[in-house]
Each structure stands twice: as structure tokens, then as C-alpha cells.
Amino acid sequence: MLLEVDDNGNLMDELDIASRILGLFIGIDNTSGVVITFMIKYLAELPGLYNEVQKEIFEIKSSKGSGESLNWDDIQKMKYTWNVACEVMRLVPPCQRTFREAIADFNYKGYSVPKGWK
């Protein structure tokens, strides 16, 4: 990032570099645990959802041999489970301590958002 230049040949601003590095550290530290925790919460609260995830996982498990581990192809078959994880991340974003910054002025639904606003 220290040597990355934009289309005009400008180096990245130190604050932008620091913000991106902080985002990486937070993502590394927290995201998986938050998603798993809230998936368990929602699956416990919504038995229909739990039953569908369980059904999908048991179908994949039944196609495996005794003692055979999951592989990448098996994980790719978990469409419903992945949709549940995505919905959990939409409802409870795993990185709640970070903010995005507007890179240009824009209007959204009648609201003016200035460049640099977080």
C-alpha cells in the first residue's frame, strides 16, 4: 500500500492506509466468531431454519463414506446454509467497529452525503 499509486500517480494517504490495515486486523480478529455466534442464535430461535440447515448437512453427510471428511465440493453444496450465513451477516454485520468513508459527494434518497463523511 505504501507504493500503490492512483490513476494520477498519487500515493495513498497515510490515514487511508491506516484505516485499511485496521479493517484487516478487525476482520481477522472477530468476523468468523461473530457470524458463528449469531448463526447459532438465529438457528436456536427459528426451528424451521434450523431444520432446513440440518437437512442440507445430513444429505451431504449421507453421501460420504464412514469417517470421510468434508471437502471443498461438499461445502459448495451447502447453498441454504450459505444463504443463512449471508443473511446473518446482513442482519448483524461482523465488523461493527469500522466505518466506510464516502470518496465523493453524492445524494441518496434525498440526503446529501459529502465526501469524507463516515
Provide the residue-wise pLDDT of the chain in tens; the chain has 118 residues: 777 788 888 888 888 888 778 777 766 666 788 888 999 999 999 999 999 999 999 999 999 988 899 999 999 999 999 999 999 988 887 766 666 788 899 998 999 999 988 8
Tell me, what's the pLDDT at 50?
Answer: 96
Tell me, what's the pLDDT at 32?
Answer: 80
Tell me, what's the pLDDT at 53?
Answer: 96
Tell me, what's the pLDDT at 43?
Answer: 95
Q: List, in order, residues 6 or more apart from 3 with CB less than 8 Å away.
A: 11
Tell me, what's the pLDDT at 49?
Answer: 95
Q: Helix count (H) and strand count (E) of the chain?
A: 4, 2
Tell me, what's the pLDDT at 48?
Answer: 96
Q: List, in order, residues 6 or more apart from 103 with CB less than 8 Å away.
A: 115
